Amino acid sequence: MNNSMATRYWNRVASDGTWLTDTRTKRPIGPPPGEDLAAMRAGLGRQFGEVPKLWPHYTCEINDELARRGETSFEQRAEHAALALYGLHQQSKSVSMHRPDVRLGRALSQLRDSDRFSPKAIDDRVEAAATTTTFDALLIRLRGLVDLLRTINQPLDYDHLMRLVHDWHYDDGRRAARRQWAMDYQVWKHKSAGDEPSAES
């Protein structure tokens, strides 16, 4: 996946999850406007390019060869999916739901340890998501998991999520992403929720 130097929409926070400051106005550049997040949520269950209000937020380069055939790249699909999930996750939150270096497995382990849900229920949902074999099936499962993360104010790294979604298009990429996901989830799932404070809304 070509990450180039594009700045994704959600990258408006420091490494500790606090909003960055606009150098001109000296004011935080978050939380994002509600209309932006609404446009992103409109992308849930839709394909790249189907929501015109999302177009200004796309950063992936256009693949001319694919565009001539009316097709989109896996990177474009992955960014669209990540934006839609971010719009769901960030809705009505004053703190950032994007947190660098908090990969999906680690975030889900915090969900498991939150005491809000049965650990077995979370294990089952995580397994159902991780064992999907298609891009579309993965997105359906991720939507449910992100919605649960939102209820406990648990952020995750959307750059990493975008890479995971992108890699799910390939057999080898899916296997590698699944291994990383499993390692993160297993390493963290027995830690107490107090070891990794979640954000407050």
Q: At which residue do the structure tokens 């359906």 appear?
A: 140
pLDDT exceeds 50 at position 120? yes
Average pLDDT over residues 72-83: 96
Q: Report the pLDDT value the prediction gives residue 6, as an integer from 0 to 100.
A: 77
Residue 157, number of CB atoms within 10 A of its CB: 19
Average pLDDT over residues 135-151: 97
Q: How confident is the model at residue 2 (pLDDT cuts 50, 70, 90)?
A: low
For the CA atoms of the chain, what is the radius of gyration? 17
Q: Report the pLDDT value the prediction gives residue 1, as an integer from 0 to 100.
A: 57
Q: Report the pLDDT value the prediction gives residue 192, as an integer from 0 to 100.
A: 47
pLDDT exceeds 60 at position 145? yes
Average pLDDT over residues 88-101: 97
Q: What is the residue-averaged pLDDT of the chain?
A: 90
Structure confidence by residue, pLDDT tens digits, 5-32:
579 999 999 999 999 999 999 999 999 9
pLDDT exceeds 60 at position 198? no
Comparing 2 with 160, which gets the higher pLDDT?
160
Give the torsion sign (CA, 33, 43, 6, 61): negative
Q: Report the pLDDT value the prediction gives residue 69, as an integer from 0 to 100.
A: 82
Q: Report the pLDDT value the prediction gives residue 201, as an integer from 0 to 100.
A: 46
pLDDT exceeds 80 at position 110? yes
Q: What single letter denotes the amino acid at residue 46?
A: R
pLDDT exceeds 60 at position 38? yes
Cβ atoms of 36 and 57 closer than 8 Å:
yes
Q: Report the pLDDT value the prediction gives residue 191, as an integer from 0 to 100.
A: 55
pLDDT exceeds 70 at position 188? no
Average pLDDT over residues 127-138: 96
Q: Report the pLDDT value the prediction gives residue 140, as an integer from 0 to 100.
A: 97
Average pLDDT over residues 121-139: 96
pLDDT exceeds 50 at position 197? no
Give one DSSP letter per residue of the chain, joined into a string. Answer: ---TT---TT--B-TTSPBPB-TTT-SB--SPPHHHHHHHHTTTT--TTS-GGGGGG--SPP-HHHHHTT---HHHHHHHHHHHHHHHHHTT-SS-SB-TT--HHHHHHHHHTTSSS-HHHHHHHHHHHHT--SHHHHHHHHHHHHHHHHHTT--B-HHHHHHHHHHTTSHHHHHHHHHHHHHHHHHHTTS-GGGSPPP--
d(CA 201, CA 198): 10
